[in-house]
Structure formats: structure tokens, C-alpha cells
Amino acid sequence: MRTGILLLACLIALGLPQAAPGMDPSTVANEAVKIAEARKANAALMHQYSWNSRVEIVVNAQVKDTRIEQLSYNPFGQLQRITLNDQGGTLHTLPTPIGFLRRGIAEVKKEEMQEYLHGLRGLLEQYTLPTTGKILDFLMAASPSLSDAQGLIKLSGKNVVQPGDNLNMWFNPWTKHLQHIQVNTTFQGNSVQLTATFATLPGSGLNYASFAEATVPDKQLSVQVQNYNYVRSY
């Protein structure tokens, strides 16, 4: 189930918006445009790098699948993946039972998990606020907080994608770089939590998700993604 394992990994390649605290309502629209432009510039910078990504799927507190890949963009802007290590567990290399019927059941379970991860990834992608309009809507309704002990500003929003959800973002007010996000939402009747920690490369200023985890407690399912070893190609 290699495709299914990587579905949520795509999420961390998407940048989240960077905002400024204490914005006057008359400037929110301009800020939304600036945020979208800054995110576009960061995405373009990402195309100049290759990096490693480690994805783990944990079910019932046991690692069921681990995969390490090297990622980069080709000249046409398409994301390329080279597998460095693929240690399959029971999730995508389920032992085939004896008998056609039982073998079919095993395949159905794998397909169901793949479809579930695909749908979950689609929901979580919406929390990246992919358009200027989505960014504007969030900024208009978000509640800023005073800086914390680390000097980070927090923006909080409710009902961002669907009723009852919650999106929290922490960013550095000086660099405007995103530092951390937290999402609480639901998918197919189950509560879902997403957390991600961001880092910034010295020199180039590339902002990227160094670690992300999506957790579905009711299913005892967790998908963990770690990005590291960023090397500039040009």
C-alpha cells in the first residue's frame, strides 16, 4: 500500500500562511494578498532543494509501515520521489491467507485504509488555506494573542473548514515565519488532530515543515512525517 502511505506526506509540502498581529480591518485584504505572494515565493524556493522524508504509519501503538524517500522537483515543477528505504509492516504487506476468500478480505482492508488516508489527506489540505480568499476569511475571523515566552504570536480560528473545527497558528512576528500549527477537526465521524512544527533554513530563509503528525484516536491511527537534510540544487 505504498501510495496510501504517502498520501498524507504531501500535506507537509504545502505552506501555511504567515500573518501579522493587530491588523487593521482596512488592511486585511492587502495582507492576504501579501501572504499569498510570500507563500508563492517560498514554494518557488522549495523547488531549488532536495530533501529526505520519513513517513511512519502507527496503528495500535505499533509501527506498521516506514518509508524514507528523497524528494525534489524536476524542471517541469513535478515532485519526484526516490525510495531510499522501504520497511513494510502489516499495513501494506499483509501476509496473504490461504484461500481465495480470505485473500480477498485482506486486499479489501488494504484498499479501505488507502481510501481512508486519501480522504483524510484531502480534508487536512483544506487547512493550508490554499487561496487568497481562504486566507482573507481566516484573517478576518482569527483572534490574535500576545506573544508567548518564546516571542511567538498565536492566531486562532474556529469553523475554518467545517463546523466545530479549530485552527491555531504560531509564528515569529519578526521573520513572519510559521513555527507551529494545530488543527482539531473531524473526519467520517472521528475526531482528528494535526500538529506540525516548522523550521527555517539559515541563509536562504526557506520555511518548511520539519515534523507533522495526523492522529485519529478513535482508530488508534497516527501518520508521522519528518522532513530533513535539505540540500540546495542550484
Number of residues that this document lists for the chain: 234
Residue 47 C-alpha cell reads as 523547488
Q: 3-state class of 227 per DSSP?
A: strand
Q: Is 3 exposed, middle or buried (0-12, 13-18, 19+ CB in 10 A)?
A: exposed
- Name the nearest CA neighbour of 228 among 71, 85, 78: 71
What element of type H or E holds 103?
helix 100-125
Per-residue pLDDT of the chain (234 residues; tens, 9 = 90+): 433 333 343 333 333 333 444 445 556 677 677 777 888 888 899 999 999 999 888 888 888 888 899 999 999 989 898 988 865 543 333 333 444 444 555 666 777 877 888 888 888 888 888 787 888 888 888 887 777 778 888 889 999 999 999 999 887 877 777 889 999 999 999 999 999 999 999 999 999 999 999 999 999 999 999 999 999 988
Q: Say if strands 49-59 and 221-232 run parallel, antiparallel, or are unpaired.
A: antiparallel
Model pTM score: 0.75
Residue at grid coordinates 524542471:
75
Residue 94 C-alpha cell reads as 499483509
- C-alpha pair distances (Å), 121 with each of 14, 45, 179, 209: 12, 24, 21, 16
Residue 117 C-alpha cell reads as 488516508
